[in-house]
Amino acid sequence: MQTLDMAEVALREMNATLHAQAEATNQTAWEILNPKGAHAIACGLDAPIEVTVKGSTGYYCGGMNKQATIHIKGSAGPGVAENMMSGTVVIEGDASQYAGATGHGGLLVIKGNASSRCGISMKGIDIVVHGNIGHMSAFMAQSGNLVVCGDAGEALGDSLYEARLFVRGSVKSLGADCIEKEMRPEHLELLADLLDRAGATARPEEFRRYGSARELYTFKIDNAY
């Protein structure tokens, strides 16, 4: 395992070293020490490498990730795994606002709680939160899966498109056009796979599914003033 100590290496140099692995992935395991809440750690990676961050991070850690597996041994600031394309990001602690925002693919695992707007405008990413999520989560979520093993805050799934939301605990309120839906066998199978990949011990049968009522898709003359 290669080590990059941010007490000695500047952020730009550290990220450049990781980016260079897109051309040569002979060093596939990296450890980042002393992150001290720095922003944009391990952003824009595009190689099948493993990066372990030993501490908490600031804004946009793991943003635009492709292929890499990023493990944060602490909590993450706003926008973790923002616009992720593929790969895996695992957070041992909590995540701040808009975790996984606009994510197109890959798996984001939050072993603590997530703040507001988790999964906002998600476009294919899978997000599994072991704890609770805040208000306005999955706002305008287009596709992908958001799994919450705890409770969800206000306005869950507001203006939702075709993303699937699974919540084990209570939901404070549903957003516009978000409704509870039937949990069919294919959803239980999908959920079991996601929980297993995320290392969660909850059972699929304990969850409820939410999705779009599809009432906001088309213009209705009765709504015109």
Lowest mean pLDDT among 3-12, 16-25, 163-172: 16-25
| 84 located within any domain | no
- Identify the band that residue 166 occupies on the pLDDT scale cut at 50, 70 and 90: very high
- Identify the band that residue 26 occupies on the pLDDT scale cut at 50, 70 and 90: low
Q: What is the pLDDT of residue 25?
A: 62
| 74 located within any domain | no
| 21 located within any domain | no
**Residue 194 φ then ψ, to 5°:** -65, -45
Cα dist. 14→51, 57, 59, 111, 117 in Å? 12, 14, 16, 26, 29
Average pLDDT over residues 154-165: 97
Contact 69, 51 (CB under 8 A): yes
Lowest mean pLDDT among 27-36, 142-151, 181-190: 27-36
- Cα–Cα distance, 195 to 130 (Å, whole number): 9
Q: What is the pLDDT of residue 222?
A: 72
| 178 located within any domain | yes
> Which residues touch 54 (CB under 8 Å, ≥6 apart)?
31, 32, 33, 34, 35, 73, 74
Domain that residue 192 falls in: 97-217
CB atoms within 10 A of CB 173: 12
| 31 located within any domain | no
CB atoms within 10 A of CB 110: 30
| 46 located within any domain | no
| 27 located within any domain | no
- Cα–Cα distance, 107 to 100 (Å, whole number): 9
Per the rule left: phi > 0, alpha: psi between -120 and 50, beta: everything else, 196 is alpha
| pLDDT mean across residues, the chain | 95
> Would you say residue 180 has pLDDT above 70?
yes
The two three-digit tokens of residue 42, written as one number: 């391990």
Q: Look at residues 101, 106, 96 and name the one whose alpha carbon lies nearest to residue 46.
A: 106
Average pLDDT over residues 23-38: 86
Domain count, the chain: 1
pLDDT in tens, 43-99: 999 999 999 999 999 999 999 999 999 999 999 999 999 999 999 999 999 999 999
Average pLDDT over residues 143-148: 98
| 128 located within any domain | yes
